Structure 1
Amino acid sequence: MAGSSAGKTKTVRDMVLSMAVIGAVVAVIYIFIPHDESATPVKPVNSAELKAALSTASRAASYPVLAPKGLDKDWKATSVRYRGADDEHWHLGFHGPDGKYVAVEQTTGKPGPFIADQSQDAKDTGKTERIGGKDWKRYEGDEYDALVLQEDGATTVVTGSGSMARLTEVAGSLRPAPADKV
């Protein structure tokens, strides 16, 4: 019996030593491999991909597809897609200069469920904002706020974790994308 106790002690000691060696290797890698902790893990969409998606959506959609024009270079497009199917959903997401998320969402689908989904259940405040000569409804929520415009058979939602000032900045920059060239 004494032999089995000595074997267990040796096994535990070997396991502790192995863990110490692994920990040391991880520490060395962490210290000597360069990393930027302030860098954002967001991967921007390249301009060719953005232009192609915008061109495709603007040709296919039954409504004027809106995209920002003239935003500061600190705005980084992070996601873009168009789903034609039944609701013609256009999406363009941004990482703003303040590190917050702002998205432009458009659809011909049912406005109520679309607004609730895209704004993460933000509620209509009953207020409107005059932006770019149009009246946008203001929504406020726990996670996201939103500005909503309904025209030309589509619902446009500018939403995200960005401030209302950032949402207004994006809404004010929206312009119809030409279908023939972008």
Structure 2
Amino acid sequence: MDGVTVDETATQQHPQEPGTQQPAPKRRGMRGNAKSMIISMLVVMLGVIGWNALIPRVNKIDREGVDVAAIARETNISLKWQVSYPQPAPKEWIPANVRVIRFQNQPPTWQAGYDLPDSKYIAVQQTAEPTEMWVKHQTNYAEPQGTVQVDGAEWTKLYRSSNKQSSLVRKDPLNGLSTIVTGRGEWSELQKFASLLKPAKTS
């Protein structure tokens, strides 16, 4: 239009030349800090791995148990008995309770108890002075479940369901001692335990 002057510099905005833009401030030390953090994390992780390697796992603990042979030998000498325990016991059977038990109104009782895998437990109980009450006490008043032959010897099976306790009562004395195998385990495990019973050495 005549008489009108347009200032193009006011309506057009020209982008700044690349060379005229101000560079963004550099973040100093980021690369160095990240590197230090990574190194620190690696050191901590290696330390944790090393510490864990030094701590034994519960399922890998190798318990030696107690010296069954020595305790049995001392029992034979002191009581003039010939007690028995499983020989050779499987390596996963760990002797836990090996002693002579003396309860009031009960005859002295030799006990050799073993911890088995899967939280099972089996023990042999022996005495030279058995009574009916002694048998009931050792088997926890369990009910008869028939008989079984183990290496030519007859054993009576008893079971108490309330605490899942199984017992084998030997019909004839073993080396002059009434013998019971009892605990929480499968019948096959109790029978294996009974088959491994051998008299302890006295010297």
Normalising by the smaller structure, the TM-score range is 0.5 to 0.7
User: How many Å separate the matches in 2 of 1:80 and 1:128?
Assistant: 27
Secondary structure of 1:78's aligned partner: strand
Secondary structure of 1:171's aligned partner: helix
Q: What residue is the counterpart of 2:137 in the other structure? A: 117
1:76 Cα deviation from its structure 2 partner? 0.4
Q: What residue is the counterpart of 2:151 in the other structure? A: 132
Q: What residue is the counterpart of 2:200 in the other structure? A: 177
Using the size of structure 1 for normalisation, the TM-score is 0.67
Percent of paired sites with the same residue: 24
Taking the TM superposition and a 5 Å limit, the aligned residue runs for 1:131-150 are 131-142=150-161, 143=163, 144-149=165-170, 150=172
Using the size of structure 2 for normalisation, the TM-score is 0.61
Secondary structure of 1:130's aligned partner: strand
Cα distance change on mapping 1:123 and 1:58 into 2, 3 Å: same
Which residue of the other structure, out of 91, 95, 111, is the alignment partner of 1:91? 111
Q: What residue is the counterpart of 1:68 in the other structure? A: 86
Q: What residue is the counterpart of 1:5 in the other structure? A: none
Cα distance change on mapping 1:80 and 1:130 into 2, 3 Å: same
Which protein has the larger Cα radius of gyration, Structure 1 or Structure 2?
Answer: 2
User: How many Å separate the matches in 1 of 2:113 and 2:185?
Assistant: 12
Secondary structure of 1:169's aligned partner: helix
Cα distance change on mapping 1:82 and 1:122 into 2, 3 Å: same
- The unaligned stretches of length 5 or more in structure 2 are 1-50
Q: Give aligned pairs, total.
A: 147
- The unaligned stretches of length 5 or more in structure 1 are 1-32
Root mean square deviation, CA, Å: 3.0
Q: Deviations over 1:118-152 (max 9, x none)?
A: 22221222x22111221111111122110011415
Please identify, of 88-97 and 110-119, the stretch whose mean Cα deviation from structure 2 is larger. 110-119
User: How many Å separate the matches in 2 of 1:112 and 1:102?
Assistant: 21
